[in-house]
Amino acid sequence: MKTFAFTKPATVAEAVRAVSGAPEAVFLGGGTNLVDHLKLSVARPDRIVDVTGVLPDEIREDDGGLYVGAGVRNSDFAAHAAVRERYPVLAEALLSGASAQLRNMATTGGNPLQRTRCLYFQDVTTPCNKREPGSGCSALGGATRQHAILGASEACVATHPSDLAVALAVLDARVHVAGTGGEREIAFTDLHRLPGDHPDRDTVLEHGELITGFTLPAAAWARRSAYRKVRDRASYAFALVSVAAGVSLVDGRIDDVRVAFGGVAHKPWRATEAEAVLRGARPGEEVFRAAADAELAGARALEGVDGGNAFKIPLARRTLAAVLRELTTEEPNR
């Protein structure tokens, strides 16, 4: 592991200045992703700035919705009564995300910023455009079972690993960010980037910008929401495909709906094409299939030495239908 300086600032402003002033500096929250990368030499910062003592760690009412500080631990977030009642998709996503020990450490602000779990990204002996821009993508023609079917590029086919991020995307959350130029807000759906020619940039955040919290809007449909994660084993595994969705029904029709996929792209994938098909329709297997087909029309499977990932396309269709079936036939807050 490379030697680094360690800083523990007293304020958010001090933390921002400490990272902004050093090109190779990074923030440390719970460390559940960064520490792994330090051990693997994937991350080689010259300064680590511990922000756990300065980030807001409260959950409070905010104009009918909720404000969630970036310092809130994932376990506390999932257990909060207002979250469980008004945003069940969040609690379900958090509880499916990792072991209890990791949830006790992981921060709400850090979880959506975790980097891909692509095995080539984590193996510093192999070329990886995300780790070393311009070096190549070892996944192409390699092991691709876990990789993207939507939004990929020739530079990168990796997927984003966060379950919480998929739920925040479906909820139209807002991200509060502090930087040297002051504070700003970003729509959560705009936070992450598709790889394009620059897969080394996961988000639109500038170096030194720090997430301080999230706002969850008031939304009736969020009470009837769910998260389903399909994975190789029931515990401590990343999604092959996941679906977050929220639905409101009026007179037997889908009045409003939100859908997002996880495990299929470089970012949480908001399924706007599926939403357009579903909105105003009577729920049923035919419309669920039509919604999935509309969203997955651009999906592209990858061949690979491990059999590739073509199975993800029908798996995404079935998972979406299962979640929509559940939400349109059961009462919310089940």
pLDDT tens digits along 35-57: 999 999 999 999 999 999 999 99
Find out whether 72 and 59 touch, Cβ atoms under 8 Å: yes
Average pLDDT, the chain: 96
Tokens of residue 78, six digits: 């999932």
The whole-angstrom separation of Cα 188 and Cα 19 is 23
Find out whether 313 and 149 touch, Cβ atoms under 8 Å: yes
pLDDT interval class at 2 (50, 70, 90): confident
What is the percent of the chain with per-residue pLDDT over 70, rounded to a whole number?
99
Q: What is the pTM of this model?
A: 0.96
Tokens of residue 288, six digits: 């669920």
Say whether pLDDT at 332 is over 70: no
DSSP strand pairing (47-50 vs 25-28): parallel
DSSP secondary structure letter of residue 66: E
Q: Which residues of 19-57 are buried (b: 16+ CB within 10 A; e: fewer)?
A: bbebeebbbbbbbbbbeebbeeebbebebbbbbbebbbb
Q: Looking at residue 99, what is its pLDDT?
A: 87
Q: Looking at residue 234, what is its pLDDT?
A: 82
pLDDT interval class at 331 (50, 70, 90): low
Angle between helices 88-95 and 163-170 (to 10 degrees): 170
- Do domains 5-52 and 221-329 share one topology? The answer is no
- 221-329: CATH number: 3.30.390.50
Side by side, which strands form the sheet with 47-50? 5-7, 47-50, 25-28
User: How far from 70 is each of 57, 214, 274, 286, CA to CA, in Å?
Assistant: 6, 7, 31, 41
Q: Does domain 5-52 have CATH number 3.40.190.80?
A: no
Find out whether 327 and 257 touch, Cβ atoms under 8 Å: no
- Please, where are the H alpha helices in 117-218? 163-170, 188-191
Say whether pLDDT at 29 is over 80: yes
The whole-angstrom separation of Cα 219 and Cα 172 is 10
The whole-angstrom separation of Cα 36 and Cα 265 is 22
Side by side, which strands form the sheet with 210-216? 59-62, 65-69, 210-216, 174-179, 182-187
The whole-angstrom separation of Cα 194 and Cα 273 is 17
The domains of the chain are located at: 5-52, 221-329
Overall size of the chain counted in residues = 334
120-160 pLDDT, tens digit each: 999 999 999 999 999 999 999 999 999 999 999 999 999 99
Q: Looking at residue 134, what is its pLDDT?
A: 97
User: How far from 45 is each of 22, 131, 144, 184, 301, CA to CA, in Å?
Assistant: 9, 13, 29, 26, 35
